[in-house]
Structure formats: C-alpha cells, structure tokens
A and B are shown apart, each in its own frame.
Chain A
Amino acid sequence: MLLSEMKEGQTGVIDRVGGNGALRRRILEMGVLKGSEIYIEKYAPLKDPLEMIVKGYHLSLRVEEAAQITVDDVK
C-alpha cells in the first residue's frame, strides 16, 4: 500500500521509495528506506502534509511525495 493511503496512528514498514532525483535521495538519506519502521503521527489540518515518526524523530512529508513510497505490514 502507499504511504499516502495510511491513516493516522498506523504503523508500517517501508518497502520502496520511488520517484527520482535529489528528492528521492534526500528522503532515503533521512532514514526513510526499505525496512524502516514508520508511524503516521498525523495529517496537517488541511490534510497535507503528513507527519510521521521514523527512526525516532518526526518528519513531515507532502502527501504527493508520500504517494511515491510503498509500505508493507500496515497495522
């Protein structure tokens, strides 16, 4: 499933980060990469961006970008 489809309070494990170029690289470098566990903390009041917890810190990402990331084991 896509990261952007996850609901608040769900956890998952990153499967693949899609997209290309510098942004994809940066997302990976920030620790959002295959195998990382993530927790969706919340969506902003206007539903975009979202806030998630990865590797123990809070990271915010636009829904658009989250739609490039696939996740497994969503609970």
Chain B
Amino acid sequence: MPQKSLTIALAGNPNSGKTTIFNNITGTRQKVGNWPGVTVEKKEGIVSKYGYELKIIDLPGTYSLTPFSVEEIIARDFVLDECPDVVIDIIDASNLERSLYLATQLREIDCKVLFALNMADIASTRGIKIDAEKLSELLDLPIVFTIGNKNEGIDALLKKAVELAGSDIDTSGKRKVKYNKDIENSISELRSFIEKNSGISLPYKTRWTIIKLLENDEIVKERVFQKAGDQGRNIIQEVQLHRELLADRFNDDPEIVMTDERYGFIAGIIKEVLTTITKQRIDISRNIDLVLTNRFIGFPIFIFFIWAMFQLTFSLGAYPMEWLDTSVNWFSMSLDGLLPDSLLKDLVINGVIAGVGSVIVFLPNILILFFCIALFEDTGYMSRAAFLMDRIMHLIGLHGKSFIPMLMGFGCSVPAIMATRTLESEKDRILTILITPFMSCSAKLPIYIVLAGIFFSAEAGTVIFCIYFAGIILAIVTGRLFRSTLLRGADAPFVMELPPYRVPMVKSLIIHMWDRSKMFLKKMGGVILIGSVVIWTLSAFPRNIQYSHDYVAETNSVIALYNTEITTANGLDRQHIEKKRDAAIAELEMARKSEKMEKSYMGRIGKILAPVFAPLGIDWRGSVALLTGFVAKEIVVSTMGILYLAGDKGSDTLKNALLSSDMTPLSALAMMVFVLLYLPCLATVATIKQETGSFKWTLFSITYSTSLAWVAAFCVFQGGKIIGL
C-alpha cells in the first residue's frame, strides 16, 4: 500500500533555525549559518515516519508575508500557492514579539500552523520565560519547545505536526487579529460586495484576499486580475475607494495602520505569556561587539581577519600541499617504471596524472579558505562585516549586504551570486552579480600559486595578495561606474538584523569541510579528468607529423660525429665529449617534441589564439590553458601541466618546464591579472543567467569581464616592458 504523503513547510523569520531543524528531520546537510538570509531557495527532503511519507520543505526566512526581497517572495509563494498540509512556524524564542508578526499573518491565511519555539536555550539564559500553554490557548495552536542545534524536541515537533495534519479542524474559525472598527467594516463591506457579484472567483481565501488588497499588495492584485478578469477591475476599484476612506480616517496608509494593529494584538499576547527576569546579566555577544565593531579598532581587526584568512590559506596550506605534491610525483614515477611504453601509458602519465595531479595538490589550500569563510558565517561575524562595510559600499552606490556575497565570492562565485537574493533592490542585485566574479574564487588560487610561486618565489604571498586586492579595487570601480551609468537608481535602504554571536558547531564545520572536499574531488574525477584527457588527446594527435627537419637522421649524424671524436680522445676528454653528445641529442629531442606539439591539434588551436594573447606576453600554450579555463578554472593548471610538461621531457616538474619556457615574471603577472578578471567559469555563467533571468546581462557580464581582463593584462605587460621590468 502506498503511503499517504503530507507536505510540511518550515517557515519563520530569518536565522531562527529553520535549516538546522530541517537537517535534523531529514538527515540532510543543507547550509546553516549565523546570519539572516543563508537559505535563499526552498529545499525539499522526504522522510517516512508515523505511517506517512513526509515531504519537508525548508523555506528562506521572511519577516512578513509582504514581499520585500526575492527570497522572501519564494517563501511566501510557497505557503500561498502550494498550500502545504501544515506550516511549522519556527520561532526564535528569544525574539518572540517580532516573530509573532509573521505568525499572525500565517494565521490569517487559514493554514494549519504550529509553533516551534526554537532557541529555547538562549531564551532561558536570557531570563525569558514563555508560558507556552497560555500562548497555545490564546492562539489556539500546538506549541513545542525545541533546541535545533542539540536536536531536542524535534521528534515531538514532527509528531505534533503529523497529528495536526491528520485532524480535520476548521482553521477559519480560529482566533486572528481583529482590526479596528473602520477596517473591519471595510472588510465586511467588501466581502458582501464580492458575494453579491457571485461570478467573482478569488485566487485565495476571501478575508485574506481582501486584507491584502486593502494593504495594496501588488502581487495579490495581479493574481486577482488573472483569476477574476474584468470582475477583478471592479473589486480593485471598490477596494481603492475603501483605501481612500481609511487613509482619510487615519491620516495614513491602511497597510501601515494594519501593521500597527497587528503589533497591538501581539503586544496583548506578549503581556500575558512572556515574563523576563530582569536580572542584570552580562551579555557576551554585546561585549564581543564592543571590540569587534569598535570605533577605533573595528576596522583594523576586520582587515586583520581578512589578511589572516589568506595568510593561513597560503602558509599553512603549503605544508600539506608539499606532501601531496611529493606523493603525486612519486606515483607518477612509479607508474613510469611499471608500465611498458605505450600510448596508454602516455595518456595516464602525461594526460591524467599531469592534468588532475597538478590541481589536486591544492585541496588543502582550498579547504582552509572555505574553513575561514565558514567561521565568518557561523560565528555571526558576517553581518558585522556588512555593518562595518556599509558606509564604504554606500560610496560606490551599493549596500552593506552586498559585501556578504562578495566575501563569499572568495570561496566560490556560484553560492555567492545566489546569496544576492537577499538584496531588496533589483539593480543592487544585478550590480552585485556583475562585480562578484572579480572577487577571486578558490579555483583560481592554484593558478596564482603556480605562477607566483615559480616566478616570484620569495614575494609570492605579497603578489597573490595584490592580485586579490586588485580584484576588489576593480570590483569597486566597476560598481561605481555602472551605478552612475547603466544601473542608475536610488540606493536601497540598509535594514539588517545583527544576530548574537554564537560558538560555531564543530560538527557543522567539519561536515562543511567534508562536503567541500567531496565536491572538489568530484570535480577532479569529473570535469577535470575529462578535460585533461581531451587536452592530452588534442596535443598527442595527429601521430605522424611532417617534421621540418629529419630529426632521426640529424640525431644519428650527431651520434656518429661525436663517436668518432670519442674513439680518438682519451680519459677525461672522452667523458667530456660524451656529455656534450648527450646534451646535443637532448636538444634535438626537445626541438622535435616542441615541433610535434606545435603541429598537434592543440598547437593549431593555440596558433589561432596566439595573436590575441601575444600582446599580453602569453604564448600559445598559455592561451590554450586560458581557453580551457572556461569549463572550470582549475583546468588552467591542468592544461599547463600537460602542455608545458609534454613539450620538454628534460624537466619533471611544471616549475622547471615553465622556467625554461618563454614566460617571464612580467608575463606571468599579466597572465594572473587576466585570470583574475576574465570570463567566469561555466557554472558561474549559468548561475548569472539564472539569477539575473536575462540573457543580455549574462552576455554583458562575460563581455565586460573579458575585455577588462585583456585591457588590464595588456597594461601590465606593455607598461611593465616600458618601465623596463
């Protein structure tokens, strides 16, 4: 017998612990963080329990059912349009009064609601006591206390939710906010107007629709038009009359009056259920903020944190990277000894290992970087960063909250671009999406480490830091530029909750790292592996090439020449000549290899690209590497590994190969600048398309970033040459 299924939605204010509870129920590992706006899309999970198949939906947080930003609209639309069987309102118990605002609205839409009073631990340490029985009685709904991060009360909550879904109570009679006489009058007059015109069908329940229309809710208005057609116009006209009437009566917009009324209703409830033991306590979170957002040292500390993040990533990450590098080399050498010479061996060693191996060594660095970002997110420092930076962001016409996606961009652009959903203004969102790719993501890190490490060995750290810094500066310049041209508009307001600091959960940090590693390894096993094989194939074929010299004959004649010398020479001289001979052979071999490379398919592609990149000091191999970077930025290093290594057999490491190529420190720098700015990877482009919903903006972003990259790299290379670097 198929199980009956129930849909249970988790709604609530931002940062109230919805995702924590969702993870507890479904056993998944969705992202949790201590700042408002972590979840920006709805997530689904299915569990079988109590004889039902339960479909649990985690929604983005929202302060009210009035749509304000994209992610809030997602939450509201789900609750309204999908009509879940039960809505669990996850309430931050230490923040009851404000949380009840959403709760009263949920009640108004006549769905089955139950409360989870989450963060019960924090409420009690703050001396807040909630009379749950009374609250439950007053609002006539079940209430369960929970502590999300300790998995307490979750089972009871789920059980209650299933019970509620199974019961056939009539929600429409339940206690709701009663507005003042004038508003209630308007509501009932409108109701009879609608009932009189029996042809009218409304998209939602009557009372709620009327309330929303009185509040001038654009989306509901539109839906009424869709559903009721011409009749809709009549209703809206009627509503407009009432709105004017009420506005006259209260000297303010009806929606404002109604907000007041709801809070009035809530105040009444709070008075009855909430007691605070007013013992003066030390509020640790406030004390931390005395330091971290301090007028004088707040900024220096902030800069220190960012600096420390990169410092840790590079210096601490260097050790495990070294070990991995050694293991990869060892592995490659042992295979070289074990396998008989064949095309397959060439593929494995010069394709797969050279490609994947050159990137995989960066796993530790990437993990450390993500660990640091996770620390920012889980402690609650993220919103402080937005608080500190708002003024500066304001100067470029952006929002403090835009800084959160930017900071996340150091990890990966994809979630960073998604995080822009919390921005209220469409223009802010697009602007932030356009500049976020300039925040150099972790996949570009290997490229910098390779290039800076080789060409600027001692100052590598500084060079990389400067590259990152250049990214930030160009993001700001771009922001300012577009703000005053393409995306002109009023600045969006900055209204943001600052959650209390919390000790990050070690478990969640570890899980986060683990998931990251899995993602990274998957990428290695997938796109990077395939990419490496493709690149190797393109560079190994065609097999029979028309060489410009007859290398075999030349080699033979060299050998013959030296051999006659050797027979006549004696002792020390002989050894000397033998060495010379071997060097000459190696040189010929190298010339042959590089000619072969140039005449391979890859070489031909590279030759087409080369003129574009020549002014930047990047040779054809670099050009090809950059081209492949569109798939995923890590591939740039893989490609370089394959192309440069195969070009010369004499050196066993990419380092030696690069040093003996035409690349100079200056052209390496130009290449890094290009990598920093040029078109983002495929996944990011797809995300940009999804989030802007516009092909034009996506194309614009790609064109802009790539042109900027070329110009900047050109300036670096040519400028550097002029000043004689």
Contact = CB atoms under 8 A, between A and B. Distances in A.
B387 A34 contact: no
Contacts of B497: 30, 57-60
Contacts of B532: none
Contact of A34 (B260, B294, B388): B260
A17 to B, nearest CB: 8
A22 to B, nearest CB: 6
A28 B63 contact: no
Contact of A44 (B95, B390, B500): B390
Given A49-B400, A62-B390, A29 B259 contact: yes
Given A29-B101, A29-B259, A60-B387, A46 B392 contact: yes
B346 interface: no
Contacts of B296: 45
Nearest to B302: A45
B495 interface: yes
Interface string A12-53: 000000000011111111110110000001111111110100
Contact of A65 (B97, B293, B294, B493): B493
B493 A62 contact: yes
Interface residues of B, number: 38
B34 interface: no
A44 B391 contact: yes
Contacts of A41: 286, 289
Given A22-B68, A45-B295, A60-B494, A55 B98 contact: yes
A1 interface: no
A31 B286 contact: no
A28 B298 CA distance: 30
A65 to B, nearest CB: 5
A57 B66 contact: no
A27 B260 contact: no
A65 B298 CA distance: 23
B627 to A, nearest CB: 43
B68 to A, nearest CB: 6
B495 A65 contact: yes
Interface in A56-75: 56-62, 64-65
Contacts of A47: 391
Given A41-B286, A57-B497, A48 B390 contact: yes
B64 interface: yes
A29 B101 CA distance: 7
Contacts of A46: 388, 391-392
Contacts of B387: 44, 49, 51, 60
Interface in B627-663: none
Interface string B288-300: 0100011110110
A59 B63 contact: no
A51 B259 CA distance: 23
B706 to A, nearest CB: 35
B381 to A, nearest CB: 14
Nearest to A54: B98
B97 A31 contact: yes
B256 A48 contact: no
Interface in B336-362: none
Contacts of B97: 31, 55-56
Nearest to A23: B493
B403 to A, nearest CB: 13
A48 B498 CA distance: 15
A57 B494 CA distance: 16
Contact of A56 (B94, B390, B392): B94
B172 to A, nearest CB: 24
Contact of A59 (B64, B255, B394, B495): B495
A18 to B, nearest CB: 11
Contacts of B495: 23, 26-27, 30, 59-61, 65
B293 A44 contact: yes
B520 interface: no
Interface of A: 22-31, 33-34, 41-49, 51, 55-62, 64-65
Interface of B: 63-64, 66, 68, 94-95, 97-98, 101, 255-256, 259-260, 263, 286, 289, 293-296, 298-299, 387-388, 390-392, 394, 400, 424, 493-500
